[in-house]
Amino acid sequence: MPIEPPYPVFIRSKVIPGFGRGSSDLGIPTANIPADDFTTSAVPHGQTGIYFGLAQVSGSYGSNNATNSPNKDDNDDSVTATANTSLISGQDAKVLPMVMSVGWNPFYQNKQASAEVHIVHKFVNQFYGANITIAVLGYIRPESDFVSIQALVDEINHDIEIMHDRLSQPEFAAVAADGAFSNT
Protein backbone atom coordinates (compact mmCIF):
# COMPACT_ATOMS: atom_id res chain seq x y z
CA MET A 1 0.00 0.00 0.00
CA PRO A 2 1.43 3.39 -0.97
CA ILE A 3 1.31 6.26 1.52
CA GLU A 4 -1.99 8.08 1.16
CA PRO A 5 -1.60 11.36 -0.76
CA PRO A 6 -0.71 14.14 0.03
CA TYR A 7 1.56 12.43 2.58
CA PRO A 8 4.46 12.44 3.16
CA VAL A 9 4.50 16.24 3.58
CA PHE A 10 8.00 17.51 4.39
CA ILE A 11 8.36 20.75 6.36
CA ARG A 12 11.66 22.45 7.11
CA SER A 13 11.55 24.91 9.94
CA LYS A 14 13.23 26.29 13.05
CA VAL A 15 12.48 25.60 16.69
CA ILE A 16 11.04 28.68 18.43
CA PRO A 17 9.95 29.32 22.01
CA GLY A 18 6.35 28.40 22.77
CA PHE A 19 4.14 28.95 25.79
CA GLY A 20 6.57 27.27 28.16
CA ARG A 21 4.16 24.79 29.63
CA GLY A 22 4.66 21.63 27.56
CA SER A 23 7.32 20.40 29.94
CA SER A 24 6.18 22.19 33.08
CA ASP A 25 2.42 21.44 32.95
CA LEU A 26 2.33 18.21 31.00
CA GLY A 27 5.80 16.65 31.18
CA ILE A 28 5.55 16.43 27.40
CA PRO A 29 7.96 18.90 25.77
CA THR A 30 7.00 20.13 22.30
CA ALA A 31 9.34 21.82 19.85
CA ASN A 32 7.28 24.73 18.50
CA ILE A 33 7.65 25.99 14.94
CA PRO A 34 6.08 29.07 13.30
CA ALA A 35 2.46 28.01 12.62
CA ASP A 36 2.68 29.43 9.07
CA ASP A 37 5.26 26.80 8.16
CA PHE A 38 2.53 24.24 8.72
CA THR A 39 -0.48 26.14 7.36
CA THR A 40 1.33 26.92 4.10
CA SER A 41 2.47 23.28 3.68
CA ALA A 42 0.81 20.69 1.44
CA VAL A 43 -1.27 19.33 4.33
CA PRO A 44 -4.87 19.90 3.12
CA HIS A 45 -5.92 23.47 4.02
CA GLY A 46 -3.17 23.33 6.64
CA GLN A 47 -5.91 21.99 8.87
CA THR A 48 -5.64 21.95 12.64
CA GLY A 49 -5.50 18.73 14.60
CA ILE A 50 -3.14 16.01 15.77
CA TYR A 51 -0.73 14.37 13.31
CA PHE A 52 2.01 11.74 13.41
CA GLY A 53 5.24 11.35 11.50
CA LEU A 54 9.01 11.61 11.74
CA ALA A 55 11.30 14.48 12.69
CA GLN A 56 15.02 15.23 12.67
CA VAL A 57 16.74 18.15 14.37
CA SER A 58 20.07 19.55 13.21
CA GLY A 59 22.46 22.38 13.93
CA SER A 60 23.32 23.39 17.48
CA TYR A 61 21.66 22.83 20.81
CA GLY A 62 20.26 26.05 22.28
CA SER A 63 18.35 27.43 25.22
CA ASN A 64 15.40 29.82 25.45
CA ASN A 65 16.17 33.33 26.66
CA ALA A 66 12.61 34.58 26.53
CA THR A 67 11.76 36.12 29.88
CA ASN A 68 8.08 35.95 29.11
CA SER A 69 7.15 33.51 26.39
CA PRO A 70 5.41 33.45 24.07
CA ASN A 71 6.66 36.54 22.35
CA LYS A 72 3.26 37.34 20.92
CA ASP A 73 4.24 40.54 19.13
CA ASP A 74 7.76 39.50 18.36
CA ASN A 75 8.10 38.15 14.85
CA ASP A 76 11.81 37.56 15.22
CA ASP A 77 11.59 34.56 17.49
CA SER A 78 15.24 33.71 16.91
CA VAL A 79 16.37 36.55 19.18
CA THR A 80 15.17 34.62 22.20
CA ALA A 81 17.05 31.44 21.31
CA THR A 82 20.74 31.25 22.13
CA ALA A 83 22.75 28.65 20.27
CA ASN A 84 25.30 26.88 22.36
CA THR A 85 28.45 25.68 20.66
CA SER A 86 27.81 21.95 20.60
CA LEU A 87 26.39 20.33 17.51
CA ILE A 88 23.39 18.04 17.73
CA SER A 89 24.80 14.57 17.15
CA GLY A 90 24.49 10.89 17.96
CA GLN A 91 21.01 9.56 18.71
CA ASP A 92 19.67 13.11 18.98
CA ALA A 93 20.47 13.68 15.28
CA LYS A 94 18.55 10.61 14.04
CA VAL A 95 15.20 10.58 12.25
CA LEU A 96 12.81 10.00 15.15
CA PRO A 97 9.09 9.27 15.65
CA MET A 98 6.90 12.22 16.54
CA VAL A 99 3.36 13.38 17.24
CA MET A 100 2.35 16.93 16.49
CA SER A 101 -0.41 19.30 17.47
CA VAL A 102 -1.61 22.20 15.33
CA GLY A 103 -4.21 24.75 16.36
CA TRP A 104 -5.47 26.78 19.26
CA ASN A 105 -5.16 24.27 22.15
CA PRO A 106 -8.86 24.37 23.21
CA PHE A 107 -7.84 23.21 26.70
CA TYR A 108 -5.75 26.39 27.10
CA GLN A 109 -7.84 28.66 24.85
CA ASN A 110 -4.78 30.06 23.09
CA LYS A 111 -5.28 33.30 21.17
CA GLN A 112 -2.69 32.34 18.59
CA ALA A 113 -2.39 29.16 16.55
CA SER A 114 0.64 27.02 17.30
CA ALA A 115 2.33 24.08 15.62
CA GLU A 116 4.35 21.89 17.97
CA VAL A 117 6.15 18.59 17.69
CA HIS A 118 6.69 16.10 20.51
CA ILE A 119 9.57 13.83 19.52
CA VAL A 120 9.50 10.47 21.26
CA HIS A 121 13.13 10.48 22.36
CA LYS A 122 15.14 11.66 25.37
CA PHE A 123 17.45 14.48 24.20
CA VAL A 124 20.65 15.34 26.05
CA ASN A 125 19.87 19.08 25.86
CA GLN A 126 17.34 21.66 24.69
CA PHE A 127 17.53 22.67 21.03
CA TYR A 128 15.84 26.07 20.72
CA GLY A 129 16.91 27.77 17.48
CA ALA A 130 17.88 24.46 15.83
CA ASN A 131 16.67 23.34 12.41
CA ILE A 132 13.90 20.78 12.31
CA THR A 133 12.83 18.67 9.33
CA ILE A 134 9.42 17.08 9.69
CA ALA A 135 7.70 14.41 7.62
CA VAL A 136 3.97 14.64 8.33
CA LEU A 137 2.65 11.13 7.57
CA GLY A 138 -0.97 11.16 8.64
CA TYR A 139 -3.81 12.62 10.67
CA ILE A 140 -4.89 11.21 14.04
CA ARG A 141 -7.76 13.37 15.37
CA PRO A 142 -9.07 16.92 15.78
CA GLU A 143 -8.02 19.01 18.78
CA SER A 144 -10.35 18.75 21.73
CA ASP A 145 -11.04 20.14 25.18
CA PHE A 146 -10.53 18.10 28.36
CA VAL A 147 -11.81 18.13 31.93
CA SER A 148 -8.30 18.02 33.42
CA ILE A 149 -4.60 18.16 32.58
CA GLN A 150 -4.43 14.43 33.32
CA ALA A 151 -7.14 13.73 30.72
CA LEU A 152 -5.14 15.73 28.14
CA VAL A 153 -1.93 13.85 29.03
CA ASP A 154 -3.75 10.49 28.79
CA GLU A 155 -5.02 11.42 25.32
CA ILE A 156 -1.54 12.48 24.16
CA ASN A 157 -0.15 9.14 25.40
CA HIS A 158 -2.89 7.43 23.42
CA ASP A 159 -1.85 9.48 20.34
CA ILE A 160 1.71 8.18 20.85
CA GLU A 161 0.44 4.57 20.85
CA ILE A 162 -1.50 5.23 17.64
CA MET A 163 1.62 6.80 16.11
CA HIS A 164 3.79 3.74 16.91
CA ASP A 165 1.11 1.48 15.49
CA ARG A 166 0.77 3.46 12.25
CA LEU A 167 4.54 3.90 11.81
CA SER A 168 5.04 0.14 12.05
CA GLN A 169 3.07 -0.27 8.81
CA PRO A 170 5.24 -1.13 5.79
CA GLU A 171 4.39 1.91 3.64
CA PHE A 172 6.32 4.15 6.04
CA ALA A 173 9.48 2.03 6.18
CA ALA A 174 11.38 4.00 3.53
CA VAL A 175 10.51 7.53 4.70
CA ALA A 176 13.37 7.83 7.19
CA ALA A 177 15.82 7.31 4.32
CA ASP A 178 14.24 10.10 2.22
CA GLY A 179 16.70 12.66 0.86
CA ALA A 180 14.79 15.40 2.69
CA PHE A 181 16.48 14.15 5.87
CA SER A 182 20.21 14.43 6.32
CA ASN A 183 22.08 11.16 6.59
CA THR A 184 24.99 12.28 8.66
Q: Which stretch binds ligand ADP (CB under 6 A): 28-36, 71-79, 136-144, 154-162?
A: 28-36
| Contacts with 155 (C-beta within 8 Å, 6 or more apart), sequence order | 144, 146
What is the spatial distance between Cα 173 and Cα 169, in angstroms, rounded to a whole number? 7
Q: Does the protein bind ligand ADP through residue 104 (CB under 6 A)? A: no
Shortest distance (Å) from residue 169 CB to ligand RBF: 19
Instruction: For residue 155, indicate whether it is catalytic.
Output: no
Q: 68 near 19, Cβ under 8 Å?
A: no
Q: Does the protein bind ligand ADP through residue 29 (CB under 6 A)? A: yes
Q: Does the protein bind Mg ion through residue 49 (CB under 5 A)? A: no
Q: Which of 4, 116, 143, 155 is catalytic?
A: 116
What is the spatial distance between Cα 114 and Cα 69, in angstroms, rounded to a whole number? 13
Q: Does the protein bind Mg ion through residue 17 (CB under 5 A)? A: no
Out of 20, 46, 59, 106, the only residue in the binding site for ligand ADP (CB under 6 A) is 20
As to burial, measured by CB atoms within 10 angstroms (0-12 exposed, 13-18 middle, 19+ buried), residue 184 is: exposed
Shortest distance (Å) from residue 100 CB to ligand ADP: 10
As to burial, measured by CB atoms within 10 angstroms (0-12 exposed, 13-18 middle, 19+ buried), residue 129 is: buried
Out of 32, 56, 58, 69, the only residue in the binding site for Mg ion (CB under 5 A) is 32
| Contacts with 145 (C-beta within 8 Å, 6 or more apart), sequence order | 106, 107
- Residue 39 or 126 with smaller CB distance to Mg ion: 126
- Residue 77 or 116 with smaller CB distance to Mg ion: 116
The site that binds Mg ion (CB under 5 A) totals a number of residues, namely 5
Q: Which amino acid, residue 56? A: Q
Q: 99 near 135, Cβ under 8 Å?
A: no
The residues of the shown chain that bind ligand RBF, judged by CB under 6 A, are 18-19, 21-22, 26, 28, 30, 50, 99, 101, 105-108, 116, 118, 143-144, 152, 156, 159
Positions annotated as catalytic residues are 116
Q: Which residues bind Mg ion (CB under 5 A)?
A: 18, 22, 30, 32, 116
